[in-house]
Amino acid sequence: MNYRHIYHAGNFADVLKHAVLARLIVYLQQKDKAFRLLDTHAGIGLYDLSSEEAQKTGEWRDGIGKLLEAELPEPAASILAPYLDAVRSLNPEGDITLYPGSPKLARMLFRPQDRLSAMELHPDDCRRLARLFEGDFQVRVTELDGWLALGAHLPPKEKRGIVLVDPPFELDGEYERLADGLAKAYRRFSSGVYCLWYPIKKGAPIAAFHEALKALEIPKMLCAELSVKSDRDQTGLSGTGLIIVNPPFTLKDELHAILPELKRVMAQDRYASHRCFWLRGEE
């Protein structure tokens, strides 16, 4: 309950997560039929990067700040365009002061038929999120533990959807909880596209987490990781990971195009790296 994403909004982890979320939305929009995004840990939706909290860490400067200033080659520029264009549209004067969290980004990309269910447990943050979308019939904001939503809110009535699980990882056992949450959700909604975020830092049980996911025997799971620095810092975030279940068939090639550019632009030391591979499924 003490976590505040404003300190981290727009950092390199947000960049990869939101770039991939935008691609998933664009892909589902290739069909006219409506879909729903279930955002289990939605936050406040829109972040003021000029605020005292954001300025205190300045993490966005090494993330979205660098990416917006970078010259990107094709096809990376086109792949990242839906995400970056959304960020730019919030900052028409050029200087970046506003950054969209996942619910705001999704809503900016939606068609009239698409829907968002945004879950947020923290009462103050939930109220701010509700005010952001007040009167918007395409968005439903609920004060709820996002882990519970993986059972109670699936499957969506649209029968098509994206489930974004982006927990703060404040407590021990969150990697195990993420694997268990996916197992529960997949039993209810096996056709959904899932995007699970996890942090990479010194001592994180990444290998065990991957093995736990493999043991679920879900047919298609794609993994993308981006590290921007050495993990020698025992407390700081050195990298970010995503597990995408039932990914679009185009996503792996898109990730192979953008990950090298994201590493080039946002690397903080010579140990920066990236990888993208099938955890289960196609090779």
Give the residue ranges of the annotated binding site for S-adenosyl-L-methionine: 18, 41, 102, 120, 145-146, 166
Helix 12-28 / helix 102-109 crossing angle, nearest 10 deg = 30
Where on the phi/psi map is residue 230: left (φ > 0), alpha (ψ -120 to 50), or beta? beta
Chain centroid to CA 174: 16
Q: Are 200 and 206 in contact (CB under 8 A)?
A: yes
Lay out the sheet containing 115-119: strands in order across: 139-142, 115-119, 36-39, 161-165, 193-200, 239-245, 221-227, 273-280
Cβ neighbourhood burial of 217 (10 Å; 0-12, 13-18, 19+) = exposed
Q: Is 166 a catalytic residue?
A: yes
Catalytically annotated residue among 62, 166, 172, 231: 166
Q: Are 218 and 280 in contact (CB under 8 A)?
A: yes
Query: Can you tell me the distance from the alpha carbon of 244 to that of 252, in angstroms, rounded to the nearest whole number?
Result: 10
Q: Are 121 and 152 in contact (CB under 8 A)?
A: no
- Which residues fall in the annotated binding site? 18, 41, 102, 120, 145-146, 166
Q: Are 193 and 163 in contact (CB under 8 A)?
A: yes
Residues 6+ apart with CB under 8 A from 134: none
Q: Which of 137, 184, 189, 187 lies closest to 159, judged by CA?
A: 189
Could you list the active site residues?
A: 166
